[in-house]
Structures are given as C-alpha cells and as structure tokens.
C-alpha cells in the first residue's frame, strides 16, 4: 500500500509515519516545508520526502495522489491563538489548500482520510459528542476562534457530499491528542500542554484561562496513531464512508488538573523538583490571554462507540501516564544543561 501524507513533519504526520515505517510494509511519500521531526526517517527506503509548500508543489502532489492508495492531508494551523491572530492564514491552510486536494481525490477516485476536529462540535452542550447525533454549535462571526472549526466543518460536508458520488473517504476527529514534540513549546502560540512546558522552561507563570475549570478529554498520541493505522488498514471496509471521534473519555480533566499533573510528574525527578517548586500559577481572563475573538468550550467528551464497534479500537493510556511520558522526554532527555540555559532561576 502507498500512503501520501501532506504535512508529514507535523505532530500527527511524523508520529504516524514512524509507526507505519516501523510496523507495516507500506510505502509513504510526504510533503512538508520543514523536516526536523522526520529527519531521522529520511534514510528509510520506504519513505519519499519532498521539501516544499503544498501551494507551490501542486505538480508533485498531483503525481503522488495519482500513485497513492490513500491520501492523508494533514496540513493545517491548529493552534487557537492563531485562529484569532491570523484567521486568514488559518482559512488558507485549513480550507483552501485542502479543498484542492479533496477535489483531486474525488476526480481521481483516490481514498482520502481527512482530519476533521473535535472543534466542530464547538459549544454543543451534549454530555458526550456523537458523530451522527450531536449538533455543531459555533459562535458569532466576530469570534474568530471558530474559523478553524468552520473551515473543517465545511470540508467534512464537502467530503461527505463527494462520498455520495463515490469518493472513498473516512473522516476522523482527534480530541486533544497530546504527546512529546507537539507545537515545539513555542512561546504564546502552542496548545495547552506545550504552552505550559514552554512556560516552565522559560520560568514564566502558568496561566489558567478564566480560572482553568474548563475540561478536555486528552488522548495520548500513541492511542491516536493506533486508531489511524486501523483506519488506513480498513479491514472489511469498516472505515468506508464513516466519521470517527478519536478520543479518550476516561481522560476528561480540567486545565487545573493538568497543571497539577505536570507538577507531580516533575516532582518525580529529584534534579527537577526545583522547577516544580518554582512554578507559579495565575488566572487570566480569556480576553487578556487570547483577545476579544475568543470563546471557550467548557466540556468536550467524545462518544467513541462508532470506532470501538467498527475497528475494535479503544484508548489505553491514562492522562497521568501521558503527561509523565511528555515530561520525561522534554525535561529528562534534553538534559540538565539545556534546562539551565533556558530556565532563568535554577535551583
């Protein structure tokens, strides 16, 4: 089987590629503007890597779509701060670039596995979100936070409509996938856990938006990749024409819980206790943190019956384990020197 992954260097793309190359005999070709996370894989003969941007490499992408059995377009800007600060770039990267890929897959009859998002459910107040039964609830236009969700939702609807005309597809909705290497702990633009890690490394306070009582269902990247491999394998065609939530309802935790777990995970290492002891926590309003274009989701629990039934998948990694893994990789593997360089007041 030949898999085309657009955005191969990203968090999902790089972890998926590692797993495919390690555990299957599938060939992968991938495109990305960056390559540091897949650098070590480039010598693998089963991987073809092209450096470049999807908008400038359409000829190459088209050739690859033609040769592929499965197309997985992962290019996107997926950080809420960007939805508010740069909504047009989010629309271009999420909607426009992918719309072209969807149309080409439809024209050529190639199977597409498309990353929808938990964000499509928006502020739906169902106790858990179901692919067929839950409404997709977004705020007004001047709340730019919803441009990502809205772009993804429209693509879901377009793919669904092409599916009626024969496009083979599966839509998957990641629910707060987390793991080592996400968003590179970039200052100010990362998602929650890399944002907190960056804060700790830069000796800044952790900021709880509106007090941090809002909750997410965090999913370890290894569980997410296991689900994706099952979707690609598609035994008995069970993934055809389906939408799957991929999340861990058992890992439903508040932002306060996450900050406590991070501190507990750091405390395990005698040499990093000083970091845990030095962490300051403060509450900030959503306007202070994100600006006026933000609205939050208070609770986001996936109903995963569909994927459990169709693909016999269930998540297995607890949030505590996941956070311990991330902390071990981030703080332990990079070593004391790095921490002392990046953290101002060390013990």
The residues of the shown chain that bind ligand UGA, judged by CB under 6 A, are: 78, 80, 117-119, 148, 174-177, 191-192, 195, 207-209, 212, 214, 216, 255, 296
1 vs 256, beta carbon nearer ligand UGA:
256
CA dist., res. 317 & res. 335, Å (int): 25
Contact 11, 5 (CB under 8 A): no
2 φ, ψ to 5°? -115, 125
41 vs 208, beta carbon nearer ligand UGA:
208
Supply the minimum distance, in Å, between the C-beta of residue 80 and ligand UGA: 5
Supply the minimum distance, in Å, between the C-beta of residue 79 and ligand UGA: 6
64 vs 195, beta carbon nearer ligand UGA:
195
CA dist., res. 28 & res. 17, Å (int): 7
117 vs 322, beta carbon nearer ligand UGA:
117
Supply the minimum distance, in Å, between the C-beta of residue 331 and ligand UGA: 18
44 vs 214, beta carbon nearer ligand UGA:
214
In 3D space, the residue among 46, 43, 107, 102 whose CA is nearest the CA of residue 71 turns out to be: 102
Supply the minimum distance, in Å, between the C-beta of residue 239 and ligand UGA: 20
Q: How many CB atoms lie within 10 A of CB 266?
A: 22
Supply the minimum distance, in Å, between the C-beta of residue 60 and ligand UGA: 27
The residue written with tokens 């005999």 in the block is 25
In 166-254, which ranges are continuous DSSP H helix?
A: 192-201, 221-233
CA separation, residue 196 to residues 50, 207, 213, 272 (Å):
33, 8, 16, 15
Supply the minimum distance, in Å, between the C-beta of residue 21 and ligand UGA: 25
CA dist., res. 70 & res. 29, Å (int): 11
64 vs 251, beta carbon nearer ligand UGA:
251
């Amino acid at each position: 089987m030949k898999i085309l992954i657009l955005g191969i260097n990203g968090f999902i793309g790089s972890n998926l590629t590692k797993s495919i190359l390690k555990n299957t005999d599938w060939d992968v070709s991938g495109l990305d503007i960056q390559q540091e996370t897949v650098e070590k894989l480039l010598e693998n003969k089963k991987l073809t890597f092209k450096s470049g941007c999807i908008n400038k490499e359409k000829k190459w992408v088209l050739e690859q779509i033609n040769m592929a059995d499965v197309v997985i377009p992962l290019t996107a800007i997926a950080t809420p701060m960007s939805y508010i600060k740069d909504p047009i770039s989010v629309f271009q990267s999420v909607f426009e670039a992918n719309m072209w890929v969807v149309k080409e897959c439809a024209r050529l009859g190639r199977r597409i596995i498309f990353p929808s998002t938990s964000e499509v459910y928006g502020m739906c107040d169902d106790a858990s979100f179901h692919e067929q039964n839950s409404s997709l609830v977004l705020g007004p236009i001047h709340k730019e936070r919803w441009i990502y969700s809205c772009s993804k939702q429209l693509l879901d609807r377009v793919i669904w409509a092409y599916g009626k005309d024969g496009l083979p597809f599966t839509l998957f909705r990641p629910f707060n996938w987390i793991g080592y290497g996400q968003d590179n702990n970039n200052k100010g633009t990362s998602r929650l856990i890399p944002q907190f890690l960056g804060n700790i490394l830069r000796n800044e306070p952790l900021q709880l938006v509106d007090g941090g009582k809002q909750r997410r269902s965090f999913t370890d990247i290894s569980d997410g990749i296991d689900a994706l491999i099952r979707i690609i394998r598609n035994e008995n065609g069970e993934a055809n024409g389906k939408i799957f939530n991929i999340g861990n309802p058992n890992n439903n935790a508040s932002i306060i819980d996450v900050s406590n777990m991070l501190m507990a995970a750091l405390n395990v290492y005698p040499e990093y206790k000083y970091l845990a002891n030095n962490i300051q926590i403060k509450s900030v309003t959503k306007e202070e943190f994100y600006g006026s274009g933000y609205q939050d989701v208070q609770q986001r629990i996936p109903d995963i019956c569909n994927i459990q039934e169709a693909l016999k998948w269930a998540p297995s990694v607890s949030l505590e384990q996941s956070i311990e893994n991330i902390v071990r990789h981030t703080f332990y593997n990079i070593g004391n020197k790095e921490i002392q360089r990046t953290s101002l007041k060390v013990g």
